[in-house]
Each structure stands twice: as structure tokens, then as C-alpha cells.
A and B are shown apart, each in its own frame.
Chain A
Amino acid sequence: MKSMLKACVSMLTAVAVSSALSGVAVAQEALKEIGKGEGQVDIVAWPGYIERGETDKNFDWVTSFEKETGCKVNVKTAATSDEMVTLMNQGGFDLVTASGDASLRLVAGKKVQPINTALIKDWASIDDRLKDAPWHTVDGVHYGVPYQWGPNVLAYNAKVFPEAPKSWSVVFEEQNLPDGKSNKGRVQAFDGPIYVADAALYLMKKKPELGIKNPYELNKDQFAAAIELLSKQRQLVGRYWHDAMVQIDDFKNEGVVASSSWPFQVNLLQADKAVMEKTPIASTVPEEGATGWADTTMLHAEAPHPNCAYMWMNHSISAKLQGDLAAWFGSVPAVPAACKGNMLLTDTGCATNGFDNFEKIWFWRTPTAKCEAEGGCIPYSQWDKEYRKVMGQ
């Protein structure tokens, strides 16, 4: 038995060592030209991001691609940015639709390779605001092709708020809402450490003396102030939202009247007439601005099918796909041309989903210890730890 234990331990060590070694990726040059397709491409994506018409046959941007290129598309969905990073670290995938709180971690971990923009035919059509965005461009090198973006809006019940709330204070500070009742137990917050940035964003306006310049770069005092605000918020929040569908149900059946949310939930709620009669939900970006996400299709450093991957990246910014996806997901296209003439999105769709709010949005980024704020910053692991403490209060 003893020798068996030893064997087990040595085997485990071997596994640990080999996985540690494979983590050291060699710095790579970008591809020079797109060759023949390898027959498939494996993508890690958010649920709903890559549709092949299985949920609703109007929303299909995979079948035509497969027919044209002969590259079969395999999708592995991931529910959180952290899950995406884990999957990419494990390897075996070609592409990932990474948000800003994952993309820089992937670049820093050398899990993704630079993109040769000359091989992306429609690169020029990409929104100028996104072309050199800091969440995928490091030292002037592009590590991906922008895919979609959107704001974390303030969703509210229009029966309770005849006018859109002007400030995030309705979810952060105890107060009586326009219907005369307190907001206690009637608001929600996002169940993820990145939500600390929402608190910091609110404090940027509310307490200028803290000197917060960027909600993702918080020094010790600024971070403590954000956590204090969130602790107070804990008393108001019945349940934190994690699953978009559960939040939709909470708006319908739990008397939730205001919460940070995604256009996705708002669109789904508004599409249901019966719901809109009882609990009319609308959304706004308050005066403090909002946090948001901007996703980038990134190529794995050791992608097994780089040619098919480049073909997909080319396909991913076609106006038709971008418009259809924006209509499906409630997001904003990375290609402004997609906003016109798309049947599913309609010509007002981009504005509804937040196209003009770009300047007001602080896009998700991974907080790191290195930053420009005074005295260094609080890293993400601390955000996570402290936020879990808040939720447990």
C-alpha cells in the first residue's frame, strides 16, 4: 500500500510539473497568410454568442460559414470570464470571445497570440472607438478582433419610477422610491467581484475627495470606501443576481424594481407583453455613467487550427453577423455598418442597445496591483475575497 501511495504521489507530481511546463508558451509571430482550412475551429464563447439557428432559426451565423469554408465550428460555452481563462489555460481551443476582465490576463499569461490585421479583410470597417482599445492592444500590438460590446444598464420598473432614475444611488443608498416605499429588499446587485467597480464608479461622482480616477484602479483607501458602500448595500439587497434568467424571474415575481442588468434581460422582459403590463421594465445609463463589457475574439497561442480561426475572425465582423448578433444578445455591434439595414436589429436597435453611450462606459478590466494610482492598487484576488465577505454579511 505504501508503495502505491508513493506511485500515486509521484504521478500527481509528474502531472503537475508537465502542466506547469506547458504553461510556458513561446512568444509567437503572427500568421503571414491564411492557408487552407483545417476542417474545424474550436471556440470558447459566451452563451448565445455563436448561434446556428437551433434556438430560433432566424438567428444563424454558423451554417453559411461552415458551407463556405468547410471549417466545422465547435463551441464550448463559458458562463464567466474566469471560466474562459481557465479553459484557455487548459488549451486545445482556437478562439475565445474574451471580455476585458479576461483579455489582459490572457495576454499577460501568453495564452493568446498577436493578430495580423492585414489578414482581416474588413478591419477598416471596425468602429474606430474599438480599433486600438486597451483591452486587446498591448504596446501597439493587436491581440484580437473586436466582437461586440454593451453597457451594464440600470434596469428599473417604470411603474415605480415614472421618470428614469438619474443616479445609481437608488441601488446603493437606502431611500424612499417615488412610490413612497423604501428600496430595501427591492434592489439587486451583480454577484461577481467586478461589481466593486460599479461602487467605485458611483463614488467617483459622489465623493470626489477620494480621488478615484478609474474604477478599476483603486488604492487602499478608495477600495475600502467602495467596500464600505457595498456593505451598506448588502442591507438593501435581497438576492444578488448571477444567472440572467433568474434575474428576469426576480423582476417578474419577486418585486425587484431596480438593479444593474444587461440589455439582454431588458430586451427579453420587454418582448413579453403580459409582463410589460404588470411590471413594465425599462433601462437607463445614469449620470455617473456605467460599467460595461467589450468582447474580443482572441486567438490561442497554440491554436491547432489557425487558418480556420482567421477565416472565422474575418466572418465574425461581417455586417450581417454583427447585426443579427446584436439583435439576439442585446449588444452593440463592433462594426457601425451593421446598424443600418439589418432586419432583425432594425435601424433603431443600435441606439436602444447603447451605441451612443460609449463615452459614458468604463469597460471591464482586470484590476492588477500595478497602476498609476497613489500607493499601488488592490489586485483582483482581493476584490474577490472582500466581495465574498460583503455577500456573506
Chain B
Amino acid sequence: MTAAVARPGSDFFFRRPGLLTLIFLLPPLLWIGIVYLGSLFALLLQSFYSLDEFSGLVLHEFTLSTYGHLLEYSNFAILLRTVLMAAAVTIASAILAFPIAYYAARYARGWSKALFYLAVMMPLWSSYLVKVYAWKLILAKEGIVTWVANQLYLGWLLDAVLALPTVGGPSLSISYIGTFIVFVYIWLPYMILPTQAALERVPKTLIEASADLGATPGQTFRTVILPLALPGIVAGSIFTFSLTLGDYIIPQIIGNSRPFIGSTVYALQGTAGDIPLAAAFTVVPIVIMGIYLVVARRMGAFDAL
């Protein structure tokens, strides 16, 4: 008996393994190539066009002048404001998330661990918009925070905080402080989860060894736990930083109407029809996150995900 008996063509793919792979990979490749990368390239392309100031039409000629506009004072202030906010939100999230993650990783067992996961994940189950509008009411001048502060005779403290230059304002919901609080609330779970995952992987034996060798708890924390947990914190910071960089809804509802990158892009493509400048603005977070990811990779953040 030889192979000639087999039905003709049945070994077609067997003889050409490359072809089979190609057929399987083609749909995802097309998706990545056209839908995903294609839209990114279209965006990049747009950012090299410019808007004719008088007719309001997009000029389809290659120019770098749109990027030049980014460096104008008012536009640069938007970039700076957004990056500073993202950095502040990231740092605050890390500080808040660490003790929570530490407790969950080292002490929580059984039902308390389940409760922890529930508490961290639950806010993610409800609509983002509902949460933001709820915060608007909480932080309002006539809202709960002001009321509680007045009941505790701490109204003067709230007023003092709101009287701070730049970050203050007429009420919490109309100030950078309010925007900051809501950003931290919304993105905190994305910091807690990777930090907790990293802390779980710190071997107990190392901590015991550190204690046996005479290190104080503070020293153990600084030299053993923190360096080993750092990749998790950096991984979490990728989320909090990039999500804050791109968000355009929170600054529109809570805050003092000063524009962030996201809300500027939204206004530029909607109100102004200035797609080139909107595209140039969008390239900025892409570049920042590119650099950020390279640094994060060096710090081993991707092993902690």
C-alpha cells in the first residue's frame, strides 16, 4: 500500500504547513493591520496636515506647523496640566493602594479576602458616568462633604483648603482638588490589583530571613518588600497614568473647565473641526506612554501583570 491510495488533495495542507498557518492568522492580521494600525496611521497622517485659518478647511499638505502649535503657551499649558494631574493621581493612587494591597496580600484570609476583592472590584461594575455624577453631588457646595465639615465645626478648614491658590476654587467640585479626588477614586482599583499581585509573590522566607539577620521592620520594608513589590506598583502606574492622560469626561463634569488633553481633543474634533491639531494632541500621550512603557519594562513591570 502506498500513499497514492489516499484521496487526492487530502494532504494538501500537510505538505504546505505555512499556508495553513497563514489562513488561521490572516483574519487577526488583517484586523491588526487595517483596523488597528490603519486608524493609528490615519491619525498620524492627519497630524501632519494643517487647518487653513480663514476657510476652516483642512489643507492636505505635509507640514510640521500643527506640531508647532502644540508649543504655543496655551496649548503647552494643557499638556503640562494633564501630565501633572496624571502624575499626582498616580502617586496618590500608589500611596493609597499600597497599605490596602499589603493587608490583602499578607493578612486577609478566607472571607476577608473575598470581601477585599468584592470591595475593590465592585466600583468597576457600575457605570463610570453614574459614579462621576454621584461625586459631583458629594463634592458640591451644598453637598455631603461641606455638610459634614460644618457639623464637625471644620468648615473653616474646608474654606482654607479651597482658598489655596491654583488648586482651590469656589467649591470642591469646581476645583482641581475635586478633579483629582475623582480621578483617584475612579482609577484606584487598577493600582491595587497589580500591587497586591506583586506583594503576594514576595516570599515569606525572605522577610523572615531579613528579621533573623537583625533588620528592623522598617529596614525589611525598605530593602526587601518595597523593591520586590515595585514592579507591581509600576505596572499599576501604567494604568492610572495613561487613563488619566486620556480621560475627557471627568474634567468636563468636575473641575473648573480648564481643558485637559482629552477634553481638548474632543472639542477640537467636534466644535472646531480642527482634526490635525486634535491628532497632534493625541500623539503626545502616545509618545509619553511609549517612553513610560520602555522605562517600566526596564523596571520589570511586565512580569508583575
- Contact of B171 with A254 in the complex, beta carbons under 8 Å: yes
- In the complex, what distance in Å separates the CA atom of A11 from the CA atom of B33? 12
* Nearest-Cβ distance from residue A53 to partner chain B, whole angstroms: 26
* Nearest-Cβ distance from residue B22 to partner chain A, whole angstroms: 13
* Nearest-Cβ distance from residue B135 to partner chain A, whole angstroms: 12
- Contact of A381 with B56 in the complex, beta carbons under 8 Å: yes
Per-residue B-contact encoding for A185-225, CB less than 8 Å = 1, 0 else: 11000011100000000000000000000000000000000
- Contact of A255 with B78 in the complex, beta carbons under 8 Å: no
Residue of A nearest to B269 (CB): A86
- Contact of B170 with A185 in the complex, beta carbons under 8 Å: yes
Instruction: Point out which of A86, A184, A185, A392 has the most chain B C-beta atoms below 10 A from its C-beta.
Output: A392
Residue of B nearest to A380 (CB): B56
Asked if A4 is at the interface (CB within 8 A of a chain B CB), the reply is: yes
Q: Which of A12, A86, A239, A389 contacts B42 (CB 8 A)?
A: A12
Binds B, one of A138-146, A245-253, A322-330, A342-350: A245-253
Chain A residue contacts of B141, Cβ below 8 A: 253-255
- In the complex, what distance in Å separates the CA atom of A80 from the CA atom of B170? 28
With contact pairs A8-B34, A12-B45, A238-B174 given, residues A192 and B259 touching in the complex (Cβ less than 8 Å): no
Chain A residue contacts of B60, Cβ below 8 A: 16
- Contact of B74 with A12 in the complex, beta carbons under 8 Å: no
Asked if B271 is at the interface (CB within 8 A of a chain A CB), the reply is: yes
Asked if A242 is at the interface (CB within 8 A of a chain B CB), the reply is: yes
Q: Which of A12, A242, A382, A385 contacts B252 (CB 8 A)?
A: A242
Asked if B204 is at the interface (CB within 8 A of a chain A CB), the reply is: no
- In the complex, what distance in Å separates the CA atom of A239 from the CA atom of B173? 9
Q: Which of B42, B252, B256, B272 contacts A238 (CB 8 A)?
A: B256
Chain A residue contacts of B272, Cβ below 8 A: 82, 193, 381, 384-385
Q: Which of B33, B38, B170 contacts A12 (CB 8 A)?
A: B38
143-165 of chain B: CB within 8 A of chain A: 143
Chain A residue contacts of B56, Cβ below 8 A: 379-381
Asked if B99 is at the interface (CB within 8 A of a chain A CB), the reply is: no
Chain B residue contacts of A243, Cβ below 8 A: 252-253
* Nearest-Cβ distance from residue A373 to partner chain B, whole angstroms: 16
With contact pairs A12-B41, A381-B274 given, residues A254 and B170 touching in the complex (Cβ less than 8 Å): yes
Asked if A391 is at the interface (CB within 8 A of a chain B CB), the reply is: yes
* Nearest-Cβ distance from residue A21 to partner chain B, whole angstroms: 13
- Contact of B34 with A82 in the complex, beta carbons under 8 Å: no
220-264 of chain B: CB within 8 A of chain A: 252-253, 255-259, 264
Residue of B nearest to A16 (CB): B60
Asked if B137 is at the interface (CB within 8 A of a chain A CB), the reply is: yes
Instruction: Point out which of B37, B51, B140 has the most chain A C-beta atoms below 10 A from its C-beta.
Output: B140
Count contacts on A: residues with CB < 8 A to the other chain. 42
- In the complex, what distance in Å separates the CA atom of A390 from the CA atom of B3? 81
Instruction: Point out which of B33, B78, B140, B170 has the most chain A C-beta atoms below 10 A from its C-beta.
Output: B170
Chain A residue contacts of B171, Cβ below 8 A: 238, 254-255
Chain A residue contacts of B170, Cβ below 8 A: 184-186, 238, 254-255
- In the complex, what distance in Å separates the CA atom of A254 from the CA atom of B143? 9
* Nearest-Cβ distance from residue B73 to partner chain A, whole angstroms: 9
Chain B residue contacts of A9, Cβ below 8 A: 41, 45
Q: Which of A16, A237, A382 contacts B257 (CB 8 A)?
A: A237
With contact pairs A9-B41, A12-B41, A246-B253 given, residues A388 and B267 touching in the complex (Cβ less than 8 Å): yes
Asked if B77 is at the interface (CB within 8 A of a chain A CB), the reply is: yes
Residue of B nearest to A192 (CB): B271
Chain A residue contacts of B274, Cβ below 8 A: 381, 384
Q: Which of B41, B174, B255, B271 contacts A80 (CB 8 A)?
A: B271
- Contact of A82 with B174 in the complex, beta carbons under 8 Å: no
- Contact of B140 with A254 in the complex, beta carbons under 8 Å: yes
Chain A residue contacts of B270, Cβ below 8 A: 80, 82-83, 86
- Contact of A8 with B255 in the complex, beta carbons under 8 Å: no
- Contact of B257 with A240 in the complex, beta carbons under 8 Å: yes
* Nearest-Cβ distance from residue A157 to partner chain B, whole angstroms: 13
* Nearest-Cβ distance from residue A58 to partner chain B, whole angstroms: 27
- In the complex, what distance in Å separates the CA atom of A242 from the CA atom of B267? 12
* Nearest-Cβ distance from residue A173 to partner chain B, whole angstroms: 18
Q: Which of A4, A237, A242, A389 contacts B33 (CB 8 A)?
A: A4
Q: Which of A8, A16, A379 contacts B38 (CB 8 A)?
A: A8
* Nearest-Cβ distance from residue A116 to partner chain B, whole angstroms: 31
Asked if B212 is at the interface (CB within 8 A of a chain A CB), the reply is: no
* Nearest-Cβ distance from residue B55 to partner chain A, whole angstroms: 8
- Contact of A253 with B257 in the complex, beta carbons under 8 Å: no
Per-residue A-contact encoding for B16-59, CB less than 8 Å = 1, 0 else: 00000000000000000110011001100100000101101000
- In the complex, what distance in Å separates the CA atom of A9 from the CA atom of B169? 48
- Contact of A193 with B257 in the complex, beta carbons under 8 Å: no
- In the complex, what distance in Å separates the CA atom of A193 from the CA atom of B271? 9
Residues of A within 8 A of B (CB): 4-5, 8-9, 11-12, 16, 80, 82-83, 85-86, 184-186, 191-193, 237-240, 242-243, 246, 249, 252-255, 369, 379-382, 384-385, 388-389, 391-393
Show 29 A/B contacts (Cβ-Cβ < 8 Å), sorted by A: A9-B41, A9-B45, A11-B38, A12-B42, A82-B271, A82-B272, A85-B273, A86-B270, A186-B170, A193-B272, A238-B170, A238-B174, A246-B136, A246-B253, A249-B137, A253-B140, A253-B142, A253-B143, A254-B140, A254-B142, A254-B170, A255-B142, A369-B54, A384-B272, A389-B74, A391-B257, A392-B74, A392-B77, A392-B258
Residues of B within 8 A of A (CB): 33-34, 37-38, 41-42, 45, 51, 53-54, 56, 60, 74, 77-78, 136-137, 140-143, 169-171, 173-174, 252-253, 255-259, 264, 267, 270-274
Known: A82-B272, A85-B273. 12 other contacts (CB 8 A): A9-B45, A86-B273, A185-B170, A191-B257, A238-B174, A254-B171, A381-B53, A381-B56, A381-B274, A382-B53, A385-B272, A388-B259
- What 4 A-B pairs come out closest when comparing CB atoms? A185-B170, A253-B140, A238-B174, A240-B257
